[in-house]
Amino acid sequence: MGVTADFDLLQQKREKLQEAGGLSRIAHQHKQGKLTARERIHLLCDAGTFFEIDAFVEHDCQDFGMENRRFLGDGVITGWGQIEGRRVYLFAQDFTVLGGSLSAAHAKKICKTYKMAIQNRCPIIGLSDSGGARIHEGVVSLGGYADLFYLNVQASGVIPQLSLVMGPCAGGAVYSPALTDFIFMVDHTSHMFITGPDVIQTVTGEVISFEDLGGSMTHTQESGVVDLRFPDEISALQAARKWCEYVSPEPTVFVPLDETVVVERQRILNGIMPDNRTSPYSMHKVIEAVFDPESFWEMKPEIAGNLIVGWARLEGKTVGIIANNPEQLAGVLDVEASVKGARFVRFCDAFQIPLVTFVDVPGFLPGSDQERGGIIRHGAKLLYAFCESTVPRFTVITRKAYGGAYDVMNSKHIGADLNLAWPSAEIAVMGAQGAAKIIFRSEIQSAEDPKEKEKEMTAAYAVKFENPYIAAAKGFLDAVIFPEETRRYLIEGLHVCADKTVTPPIRKHGNIPL
């Protein structure tokens, strides 16, 4: 054998890799509206930047005829590439090879990639499309999953982790995506569940489809497991590229705003607050008018719409936004919103993304459903998350900041750096009417005209507290600003807090109420 033959052999192996589990299986994958693992990586990475490792790994199972069913790479492609010039580690399961099932060798490849990503401090993206544990390998395969779970947790807070679920993801296998920071799904072709419809029917008698049980709508709208869903794989992969840019510490290039844009934004912000203090207005419009144009990207938009979370940019730098939404449930905090907000705050804090909080909150949602559902425990998560975060933190109170929700929503008292309020802010223990009924009860009851007295006392309470100036006089607010000044103040906040350092108490870890 000469060098030419050596080269030929490598070339043949490379060609063989392209065939994955076979041409007919690739055709079947396409017929189902799914791309192959290699096609997905091609779309995910900048052209020519993907470096594959462990392409020649094969399983070593000798049971059930598996000794004759070996494929180069063993059903998962691993390596690293670049996305808009930023390096990212990847693994993509290949359903055309034994259903993308996870053998010991397959797991070892993913774990090696994870270890490299952690050591080199690069984000990692996992593309799941798998029938789960390689049934032929039994407990060895379960061990492989556990090795991966362990690394998911070791990586948590060290490198950003994204899961793209692009096919089946069943049984205990769901826990790897669940341990990552964000999960995206593709409509109709991806499913996540612990126990499948057949098991559910046997155990409970309930008949349910894969789609209703673990489809993308279920997980974005009901369970809250998944952050975003996409109509097809290409848009999911484009979103993964965008995710990489948002979680990167490097700012994107910022083109200063045109003067006409500035004037238009100022007009929108100054005119957005309705005269009627209980009428809704669009917090999305507020966000759009404050941050870099078209930079806002909402996460989990289909669940707990009363709290908006997402990223935007300020002069190119990513910031995390948590905003009450007066257009849904008047912007109250409830169980789902608290959990959604807490997790987002903790992600941003872990990866040094400054936080901007917009507050218009009448309080926590009253009701026995909420109390029984653990609003105390779940609300405490959001409070805990803000209290422990050490990134630059800014707050803009646009209107209501009532009761405990005032404290929770990134108040000065819990460590925010720059607390701002618009002139329309109302900071009080509760709304004027409720407050007057309680504290002036006897005056109202004994009055000649109780209704008139209630009105009078409500107005008196409102005059006293429905404004930002008492909080400002106490230093609970750093400034009361015109809405049009919001962007300027936040940009200044980013600059002054650029080197913020907080030394948290020495401890093993805190005990967030779970």
Residues catalogued as catalytic: 171-172, 404-405
Q: Which of 101, 370 has the CB closer to ligand HXC?
A: 101
Among 158, 159, 161, CA closest to 179: 161
Q: Are 108 and 116 in contact (CB under 8 A)?
A: no
Q: How far is the CB of 189 from ligand HXC (least distance, A)?
A: 10
Segment holding 400, helix H or strand E = strand 393-402
Give the chain's radius of gyration (CA, Å). Answer: 27
Residues 221-260 that bind ligand HXC (CB under 6 A): none
Site for ligand HXC contains 395 (CB under 6 A): no
Q: Which of 107, 462 has the CB closer to ligand HXC?
A: 107
Q: How far is the CB of 42 from ligand HXC (least distance, A)?
A: 23
Site for ligand HXC contains 168 (CB under 6 A): yes
Neighbours of 301 (CB within 10 A): 16
- Site map 429..468 versus ligand HXC, x via CB under 6 A: ----------------------------------------
Max intra-chain CA distance, the chain: 111
Write the DSSP assignment of 4-59 as a string of letters: HHHHHHHHHHHHHHHHTT-HHHHHHHHHTT---HHHHHHHHSPTT--EEE-TT---
Write the DSSP assignment of 67-88 as a string of letters: GG---TTTTEEEEEEEETTEEE
Residues 137-166 that bind ligand HXC (CB under 6 A): 142, 145
Q: 53, 112, 116, 171: which one contacts ligand HXC (CB under 6 A)?
A: 171
Q: How far is the CB of 143 from ligand HXC (least distance, A)?
A: 9
Helix (H, G, I), strand (E, B) or coil at 321: strand
How far, in Å, CA of 223 to CA of 203, rounded? 21
Q: Which of 133, 380 has the CB closer to ligand HXC?
A: 133
How far, in Å, CA of 391 to CA of 394, rounded? 10
Q: Which of 131, 354 has the CB closer to ligand HXC?
A: 131
In order of 59, 139, 194, 316, 443, the CA distances from 136 in angstroms are: 11, 9, 20, 50, 79
Q: Which of 164, 397 has the CB closer to ligand HXC?
A: 164
Q: Are 411 and 395 in contact (CB under 8 A)?
A: yes
Site for ligand HXC contains 189 (CB under 6 A): no
Q: Which of 65, 256 has the CB closer to ligand HXC?
A: 65
Q: How far is the CB of 92 from ligand HXC (least distance, A)?
A: 16
Site for ligand HXC contains 172 (CB under 6 A): yes
Q: DSSP character for 256?
A: P
Q: E strands along 406-503, which residues? A: 418-421, 426-428, 479-480
Residues 42-101 that bind ligand HXC (CB under 6 A): 98-99, 101
Number of residues engaging ligand HXC in binding (CB under 6 A): 16
Q: How far is the CB of 162 from ligand HXC (least distance, A)?
A: 20
Alpha-carbon torsion 370, 371, 372, 377, what sign?
positive
Q: How far is the CB of 16 from ligand HXC (least distance, A)?
A: 18
Residues 119-138 that bind ligand HXC (CB under 6 A): 131-136
Q: How far is the CB of 134 from ligand HXC (least distance, A)?
A: 5
Stretch that binds ligand HXC, among 52-60, 167-175, 276-284, 392-400 (CB under 6 A): 167-175
Helix axes 139-155, 104-119, angle to 10 degrees: 10
**Residue indicated by tokens 């009361």:** 480
Q: Which of 22, 450 has the CB closer to ligand HXC?
A: 22
Question: Under the rule (CB under 6 A), what is the footprint of ligand HXC?
Answer: 98-99, 101, 131-136, 142, 145, 168, 170-173
